[in-house]
Amino acid sequence: MEHRLWGGRFAAPTAEMMRRFNDSFRFDVRLAEADIAGSLAWAAALRETGLITEAEHERLVQGLTVVRREFESGRFEPREGDEDVHTAVERRLYELIGEPALKLHTGRSRNDQVATAFRLFAIAAAQRVQRGLRGLQLALLEQAERHTATLMPGYTHLQRAQPITFGHWCLAYVEMFERDRQRADDATIRARTLPLGAGALAGNSLGVERERLTEDLDEFDAVAANSLDAVSDRDFVAELLFVFALTGVHLSRMAEDLIIYSSAEFGFVELDDAYSTGSSLMPQKKNPDSMELLRGKSGRLLGNLVTLLTVLKGLPLTYNKDLQEDKEPFFDSFDTLDLALQVAAAAVATMAVRPERMAAALDDAMLATDLADELVRRGVPFREAHGKVGRLVRRALELGVPLRELPLAEYQAVQPDLDTEIYAVFDFARSVARKASLGGTAPERVREQCMRWRATLGGAGAA
C-alpha cells in the first residue's frame, strides 16, 4: 500500500508537479539517523505511558534498528511515495514489522519530529566544525612555534607599517578562529532545547512526559517551554549559519593574506603543490587556488545565511511549509565549511615560509615610530616627535637614502641634542623585541602565546 502521513480528507491525488515541488527526501535524507534516534526515544515514551505494549515497543526498536542499518550501509531503497525522510522511515518500518509501525506517530506531529531531528543534526554539525577549527588552529600554531622570531613587515592599509614576527601573524588567526569555536559552542547551547512532544503546535494530550525524553536524547539539556515556539523556532539554524558565515569571512581574510604573500612580488610563503594548481596555457604558473576558493566560498556562506533570514522574516506562528527551506542552506554551508577547514589546515601546515624574503621586505621607514619613541624617551612630547620624524622621513625621500643613511646633521637639524646613538634605532630585531607588552609581537611574548595555545589546543608541538 502507499504510505502517506496525511491525505484522508483529500478526494483527489496530489498533482505530479506539486509532488515534485513539495517532496524533500532528496536532501533531508541526511536526517535519517537523527530521525531514527528521535523515534526510538518517542517509542520509549509511548511504552511508559501505556500507549503501546512492551511487545510492540520491542518490535519498533528492532524495526528501527534494521532501518538505521540500511541507511548506514547505503542499502536503504527509497520509494516514489517517500515525501520526506520521515515518511520513508515510517514506510520502511511498516514493511518490516507491520501494524505496530502505525502506532509510532501517536501523539507526535512531523512539526516536532522534524524540529527534533534537525536540532540533533545541527548539534553534530557544530561539533564537527569546532573540530575543524581546532585542526586549523593547530596548523597555524605549529607555524607560529617555528617562527616566533622570524621578522616580517606588518601592514595597515596594505602599506608597510611596523616590523612584526610571522609567528605573531599566525597567532592572530588562531585568536580569530577561537572566537568562531566559542560562537559555535554558544549557539549549540540554545540548540540543545528539545521540541519533541510539542505536537503540531499545542502540545500532546496523551500523557507523554516530555522531561523524560531528554534522558534518551542526552544531546538535549531541557525541553522547549512553549509548544508554539518549539515547532516554529529556527533560531538555532540562523545562529549556526551566522557562525559558519563569519568563519568563512575569517577564512577569506587569511586566504587573502596568503594569496598576497605567495605572489612573486612578496614571496613570503609558498603553498605546497598539493594545494595549488597550474594554467592550461602558461606552463610557469602556480596558482593559489586553495586560498582563492576559500575566499570565494565565503560569499556562498553569507548567501545561505541571508536566504534563511529572508525565509523567516515574514512567517506567522507556528509551522509553515516555508520552513522546509531551512535545510538545504544549512546542509550546503556545513558541507562547504567542513571541507574548507580541512583544506585550509592542510595548506597552512604544508606551506613553506621564506624568512629571507620577509627580511628583504623590511624598510627603514617602518622604524619611524621607533625613532619617535626614542625622542619621547628624551623628553620630546609625542606630537612634536611625530612631526620631527615626519620631516626626517621626507628629507630621506628627497635625498633618496634610507633613514639609517641620513647624515647626523639632518637629525640634529630637527633635534639638536641627537648624536650617533640615534642610529641604534635602526635594528629590526631590537624594534620587535621592544614590543613586549602583553599580546605584543616580541618573540618572548609570542613564545608565551604559543605555550598558552599549546596548553589550550593540545597536540604535539612543532619540530
Q: Please identify every residue annotated as catalytic.
A: 157, 279
Q: Please, what is the end-to-end C-alpha distance for the chain in angstroms?
A: 65
For CA atoms 245, 251, 252, 254, give the dihedral sign: positive
3 state DSSP class of 296: helix
Q: Read off the DSSP letter of residue 367.
A: G
Q: How far apart are CA 119 and CA 418, in angstroms?
A: 68
232-245 b/e (C-beta count within 10 Å ≥ 16 → b): bbbebbbbbbbbbb
**Is residue 105 classed exposed, middle or buried when 0-12, 13-18 and 19+ CB atoms within 10 A define those classes?**
middle
3 state DSSP class of 277: strand
Q: How far apart are CA 192 and CA 208, in angstroms?
A: 20
- Cβ atoms within 10 A of the Cβ of 408, count? 12
Answer for the pair 179, 461: CB distance below 8 angstroms, yes or no: no
- Cβ atoms within 10 A of the Cβ of 9, count? 5
Using alpha carbons only, what angle is made at residue 212 by residues 69 and 62, rounded to the nearest 5 degrees? 25
Of 462, 443, 247, the C-alpha closest to 337 is 247
